[in-house]
């Protein structure tokens, strides 16, 4: 097989008449030789004839953007363009968002797709999807359908080629989506669609037509139970599963008691079979992936947090009005504001005032569900650490915490169990308590609940997972709610001495 001018295939075949019959755009150019127009439909037809025709994107696409694709990203994009409905199960941090963007852009370029609807968590609508679309497909128009219903409807009914929306937002604008010309739907962190009885699942299912492209993306498709695969398969591969959930459960589990089910030995194979077609790259598969990948998730303050944040910010700045602001005063104000964002603030009497942390906590739960291995969470403040520990424990997630008051022997025991036993699954650490000399390579994902003001502490804390003995690539996730948190993370990434820039940060608050 020889590629001709990046737009056709010259094939040596025994039966060129059969090829011409199947693919009308082809023509015979010589004995046993056929020149075939190289498009998506033609490639499918050739593959149906057991001819190993490459995906057209491989040579007909210029891969736009600020960064060129890594090998595994090209392979993922090729796979997606050749499957109208498909799964991408690659690990978090492997760049599957960019792969999906390139694949969608290719299909739009060749008129297979007109508009794309991206469905994802609120926390990554802007920081991941809109940012990556700007990075990898700057020539495409993008908008986020979030907020009041009239605003969502206007955006969905508008002209943006990519529209980004959260899971539950779809039901608000279902009719507008149906009439909006969306022929490709990409669902990120698709485990949110595992329950076929949920409102969000039913809404999405109603929007799908036989011609709709649908790509479901998640690194953990059935991490809690093999029955989680049913809802996902029902969307992508409906003929591969029974009509009713009970029949599928009987395929993967057997009943022990009225309320207890155990997994069958064949459950994994069954799940693999029904969750097709699929592609997956683990971090260790991606040889060209950087050793450390840094990502950001925007988390809105809860109304309670926002109210107190605004009041403290205004009061402190008013107190300083007309007087010289010292670095010490600025540092105290910034620290208090960061505490509010983290969920708990110390009063002047050293009591703890706790806030609603539901927004930030729900994003952490998303990350836990996306991660195939254990998780390390750095929490700068002890009071927030305890709140988070209590919340995770109440939700049945095995959790330990390490902070300054934990004895050396207790820390050693916790670290050993984290490294060598199934539990704890999540380790909460005050950054200063594990900044040096500790190996925690059982995790390959680090979450910063809030930023630290110490560059050395930040670097050393991340090094707990990225050190000798780590078999995987690592991901660092920054949770950020305010411009100050965002700027602190940027300063840490740029290795700027934050202590020398306290006054600058304070002036940003005033402005």
Q: What is the mean pLDDT of residues 254-258?
A: 88
**Separation between Cα atoms, residue 264 and residue 228, nearest integer Å:** 14
pLDDT-derived band at 39 (thresholds 50, 70, 90) equals: confident
111-137 confidence digits (pLDDT tens)? 999 999 999 988 889 888 999 999 999
Q: Does the structure show a pLDDT above 50 at 253?
A: yes
So what's the pLDDT on residue 386?
Answer: 92
What single DSSP character describes residue 56? T
Cα(102)–Cα(183) distance, rounded to whole angstroms? 16
Select the highest-mean-pLDDT range: 119-133, 144-158, 488-502: 144-158
* φ, ψ for residue 163, nearest 5 deg: -120, 130
> What per-residue confidence (pLDDT) applies to 182?
98
Residue 447 φ/ψ, nearest 5 degrees? -115, 130
Residue 313 — very low, low, confident or very high, per pLDDT cuts 50/70/90?
Answer: confident
Does 30 or 12 have the greater pLDDT score? 30
Both tokens assigned to 230: 């049913």
Q: Is the pLDDT of residue 473 over 60?
A: yes
pLDDT band, very low/low/confident/very high, at 352 (cuts 50, 70, 90): confident
Is there a common fold for 64-282 and 292-299+354-510?
A: yes
pLDDT of residue 30: 62
Q: What pLDDT is stored for residue 335 in this prediction?
A: 84
Task: Count CA atoms closer than 13 A to 242's CA, side-chain side.
Answer: 11
Distance, CA of 157 to CA of 175 (rounded, Å): 10
Q: What angle do CA 295, 296, 300 make, to 5 degrees?
A: 160
8 A C-beta contact, residue 32 and residue 13: yes
353: cis peptide before it, omega within 30°? no
Window from 83-87, 289-293, 357-361 with minimum mean pLDDT: 289-293
**Alpha helices of 227-378 — where are they, by DSSP H?**
229-236, 245-252, 267-274, 303-320, 327-342, 358-370
Select from 3.60.70.12, 3.30.1390.20, 3.40.50.10810, 3.40.50.2000 the CATH code of 64-282.
3.40.50.10810
What pLDDT score was predicted for residue 205? 97
Q: Does the pLDDT value for residue 284 go beyond 50?
A: yes
pLDDT greater at residue 500 or residue 42:
42
Helix axes 199-207, 229-236, angle to 10 degrees: 10
Residue ranges per structural domain of the chain: 2-54, 64-282, 292-299+354-510
* pLDDT for res 3: 38
Mean pLDDT of 171-186: 97
Q: With bands split at pLDDT 50, 70 and 90, how would you rate the model's confidence at 391?
A: very high
Q: How large is the average pLDDT for residues 363-377?
A: 90
Looking at the chain, the whole-number percentage of residues with pLDDT higher than 70 is 86
- CATH class, 292-299+354-510 region: alpha beta
pLDDT at 232: 97
Cα 464 to Cα 427: distance, rounded to the nearest angstrom: 12
More confident residue, 13 or 279: 279
Least confident range of 227-236, 296-305, 308-317, 383-392 = 308-317
Work out the pLDDT band at 457, boundaries 50, 70, 90: confident
Report field, pTM of the whole predicted structure over 0.85:
no
- Higher local confidence (pLDDT), 493 or 208: 208
List strands edge to edge, sheet with 2-4: 2-4, 8-12, 33-37, 27-30
Would you give the end-to-end CA distance of the chain in angstroms? 64
The pLDDT of residue 297:
92
What's the confidence (pLDDT) of residue 506?
A: 67
Confidence bin at 327 (pLDDT 50/70/90): very low
Reply yes or no on whether the pLDDT at 159 is more than 90: yes
Average pLDDT over residues 163-168: 95
Mean per-residue pLDDT over the chain, rounded: 86
């Amino acid at each position: 097989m020889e590629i001709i001018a990046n737009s056709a295939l010259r094939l040596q075949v025994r039966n060129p008449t059969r090829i011409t019959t199947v693919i009308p755009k082809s023509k015979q150019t010589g004995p046993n030789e056929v020149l075939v127009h190289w498009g998506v439909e033609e490639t499918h037809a050739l593959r149906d004839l057991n001819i190993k025709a490459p995906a057209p994107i491989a040579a007909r696409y210029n891969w736009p953007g600020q960064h060129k694709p890594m090998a595994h990203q090209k392979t993922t994009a090729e796979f997606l363009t050749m499957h109208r409905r498909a799964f991408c199960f690659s690990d978090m941090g492997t760049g599957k968002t960019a792969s999906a963007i390139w694949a969608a852009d290719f299909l739009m370029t060749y008129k297979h797709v007109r508009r794309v609807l991206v469905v994802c968590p609120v926390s990554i609508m802007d920081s991941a999807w809109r940012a990556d679309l700007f990075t990898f497909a700057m020539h495409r128009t993008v908008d986020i359908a979030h907020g009041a219903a009239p605003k969502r409807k206007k955006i969905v009914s508008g002209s943006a080629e990519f529209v980004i929306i959260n899971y539950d937002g779809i039901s608000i604008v279902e009719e507008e989506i149906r009439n909006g010309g969306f022929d490709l739907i990409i669902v990120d962190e698709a485990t949110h669609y595992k329950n076929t009885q949920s409102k969000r699942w039913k809404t999405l299912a109603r929007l799908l037509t036989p011609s709709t492209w649908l790509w479901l993306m998640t690194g953990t498709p059935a991490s809690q139970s093999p029955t989680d695969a049913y809802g996902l398969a029902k969307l992508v591969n409906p003929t591969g599963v029974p009509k009713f959930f009970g029949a599928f459960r009987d395929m993967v589990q057997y009943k022990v008691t009225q309320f207890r089910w155990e997994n069958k030995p064949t459950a994994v194979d069954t799940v693999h079979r029904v969750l097709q077609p699929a592609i997956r790259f683990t971090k260790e598969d991606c040889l060209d992936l950087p050793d450390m990948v840094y990502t950001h998730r925007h988390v809105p303050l809860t109304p309670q947090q926002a109210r107190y944040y605004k009041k403290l910010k205004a009061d402190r700045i008013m107190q300083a009005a007309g007087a010289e602001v010292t670095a010490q005063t600025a540092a105290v104000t910034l620290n208090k504001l960061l505490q509010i964002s983290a969920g708990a603030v110390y009063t002047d009497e050293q009591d703890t005032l706790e806030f609603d942390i539901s927004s930030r906590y729900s994003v952490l739960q998303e990350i836990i569900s996306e991660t195939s291995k254990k998780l390390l969470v750095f929490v700068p403040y002890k009071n927030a650490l305890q709140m988070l520990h209590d919340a995770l424990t109440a939700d049945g997630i095995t959790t330990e915490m390490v902070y300054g008051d934990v004895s050396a022997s207790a820390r050693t025991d916790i670290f050993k169990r984290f490294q060598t036993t199934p539990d704890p699954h999540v380790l909460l650490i005050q950054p200063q308590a594990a900044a040096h000399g500790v190996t925690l390579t059982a995790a390959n994902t680090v979450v910063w609940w809030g930023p630290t003001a110490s560059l050395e502490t930040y670097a050393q804390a991340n090094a707990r997972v990225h050190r000798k003995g780590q078999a995987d690539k690592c991901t660092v996730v920054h949770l950020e709610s305010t411009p100050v948190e965002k700027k602190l993370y940027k300063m840490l990434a740029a290795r700027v001495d934050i202590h020398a820039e306290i006054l600058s940060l304070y002036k940003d608050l005033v402005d």
